Amino acid sequence: MIVNEDFWLKDEKGKQIIDLLLLDDQERCEKYCVHAGSFDTLQKYGVHGEYEDIAAHAAVVYINSPLLQACNLIDLPGFSDQPDEVSKDVEKANSAAQIADVVVYASPAKGHINDQDMRRISNLLSLLPVKENESSNFPTLGNLFIVATHADPSISDHQLKEIPFGAARRLYKPLNEGVLKTRREQTNRAITQEDLRTRFFTFWSERPDRCQQLFDDFTKILSEFLPQAHLFRIEREINAIKEANTEKYTKQIEAYQNTLADIDSRRKQLQVLQENEATRKQETQQKRDKVNQSTRELQLNSRTSFQRYTEQLLTVDAVEKIIRNLYDDKKEAKEGLSGYLIEKLQHEAEQIIKVNSDKLTPSIEAFLGSYQEALLKLPNLDISIEIPFDAKGAFIGGLTGLTSIGALSAWAATLGNLGGYILVAKLVSLLSALGISIGGGTAAVISFIAAIGGPIVLGIGLVAALAFAVWGLFGESWQKRLAKQIVKYFEEQRVSDKFTDGIDQFWRDTIKSFEKGANAVEADWKKYIEHLREITSPTIESKDRIEEILKILEAGKDFFGGIPWSNTNLKD
């Protein structure tokens, strides 16, 4: 089945969201199907030829294969040789990378892992799920496969064996102080050059000795390590959901029982709350303004800090020192240096943003806390309103559907294992797979989880290839000449400006998403006040309504407390 581009949903920035659950929607498949047929359909519409002008975006292929019982394979056209920011192929690859549990990166054996490969593998690694944290048995970097394709007989066995060693050495240099450093912190594991080398494989289908290791390792990941990691995650999440929601329902039941026992007092509390609403709005708005003010200050700080770092890194003397410390081989330095420097810039930008994002969290907490304070500090009353208002839940609900929420991802991380919020959102895709419909669909939830749970990735589009002109300047060392050319090249390519543009966009996303979340909280607050009126009215219907709510809460408590989940086969 060939589908067009409109088959996929898009985020708020118009980028595609690859959601494989959409393939279960028959009406959608029929609406956006360009052509359907047997396997010869691929030969017509999947390659260059007379049918290449049709509006085809992806081919959905169903094959009777045991492998596909364990995974979905997404085959991409590659990154192409165009600059990343203008390539449609890159857009497809980046969309698929958002949902990948395992990445197989193919690069020809001849010229294996060039400068552009290094940049792309770095970006893919930053997005790749950290399965090591879900199961201690999961191999280090086990869901990354880097394959030297076209390993034909013209390459000797000795040359073939040397390819992974040389490629791992070249790749390790730029990644070691960037994405691998971050991954060490995430996993609390040492990641050595040898660990990276074990993720390199060769492929030539006519020679089993040149592809069997790939088949064996890939099969082991899919049949053993990945399922085990998923089961451990499900175990933790379901137990967390059970615990968090049982506790939540218990507190709500108590609150509604107390309200039922003394509705007259609750009615007086509501009256005072309404009289104090103007003051509450003023205080809430002040704290809301404080978040936006802090965001703008942190944006400026991020720009200034990064520019200061760039000015120190991208000088001829500093770059020459890096060359002398890292490279003995002139050719390797020419091919790998730009990737190394970009990796350094990427890592520093992300670290600066992370530190500043953490600084915004107290202001967000103060804003959300202002709603709870309104319930606790009722003038001239000794007791507060017990019916809970979930400001954090309302705020997160307002963010659903956004894929770029900036510094709010750092705030979301402070919610810990997200016992009542994001864990429930993660469960949506599981429930949908079981045929239980969730309002809004799963694509928005998948994007939302990626936004709040994923790493800070600026995704700067850069042309990593560096073509040097004549090695002039007679009398200077090759290291000095190379340093001068690359500094000049980075200035011409406005590399620093592209990063600062990305930093600015990150903080603009923060303001936009915060305002969306804050509006959702205010809207839910109005509904909350209306609910309090409903259950404290002097009519008999209010008591009936509370008793109805109590029955629902009791059923919810019993449901979460009684979920029969236990997997005794898990050992870690």
pLDDT per residue as tens digits for the range 431-471: 333 333 333 333 444 444 444 444 444 444 444 444 454 44
- What per-residue confidence (pLDDT) applies to 80? 58
Q: Can you tell me the mean pLDDT for 267-276?
A: 88
pTM over 0.95? The answer is no
Q: Tell whether the model's pLDDT for residue 474 goes beyond 60.
A: no
pLDDT per residue as tens digits for the range 193-241: 999 999 999 999 999 999 999 999 999 999 999 999 888 887 877 777 7
The DSSP letter of residue 63 is -
Q: Tell whether the model's pLDDT for residue 275 goes beyond 50.
A: yes
pLDDT band at 315 (very low <50, low <70, confident <90, very high): very high
C-beta separation of 405 from 452 below 8 A: yes
- What per-residue confidence (pLDDT) applies to 360? 94
Q: Can you tell me the mean pLDDT for 279-293?
A: 95
Q: Tell whether the model's pLDDT for residue 144 goes beyond 90.
A: yes
- What per-residue confidence (pLDDT) applies to 248? 84
Q: What is the mean pLDDT of the chain?
A: 82
More confident residue, 428 or 99: 99
- What per-residue confidence (pLDDT) applies to 369? 93
Reported as half-sphere exposure (CB side, CA atoms, 13 A), residue 429 has a value of 16
Task: Say how far apart CA 1 and CA 279 lie, in whole Å.
Answer: 60
Burial of 64 (0-12, 13-18, 19+ CB in 10 A): exposed
Q: Where are the alpha helices (DSSP H) in 314-435?
A: 316-326, 330-376, 391-399, 408-413, 422-433
Q: Per mean pLDDT, which range of 72-76, 82-86, 398-402 is the poorest?
A: 82-86
Percent of the chain with pLDDT over 70: 84
In 3-state terms the chain splits into helix, strand, coil percentages (rounded to 5) of 65, 5, 30
pLDDT per residue as tens digits for the range 27-77: 999 999 988 999 888 877 776 666 667 778 889 999 998 888 888 999 887
Strand order in the sheet with 2-3: 33-35, 2-3, 58-59
Query: Domain residues of the chain, as ranges?
Result: 1-62, 72-230, 262-461+493-561
Q: Can you tell me the mean pLDDT for 402-421?
A: 69
**Nearest CA among 279, 256, 259, 278 for reference residue 268:** 259
Q: Per mean pLDDT, which range of 50-54, 92-96, 364-368 is the poorest?
A: 50-54
**Nearest CA among 404, 410, 402, 405 for reference residue 357:** 410
Percent of the chain with pLDDT over 90: 36
Q: Tell whether the model's pLDDT for residue 473 goes beyond 50.
A: no
- What per-residue confidence (pLDDT) applies to 422? 43
Class of domain 72-230: alpha beta
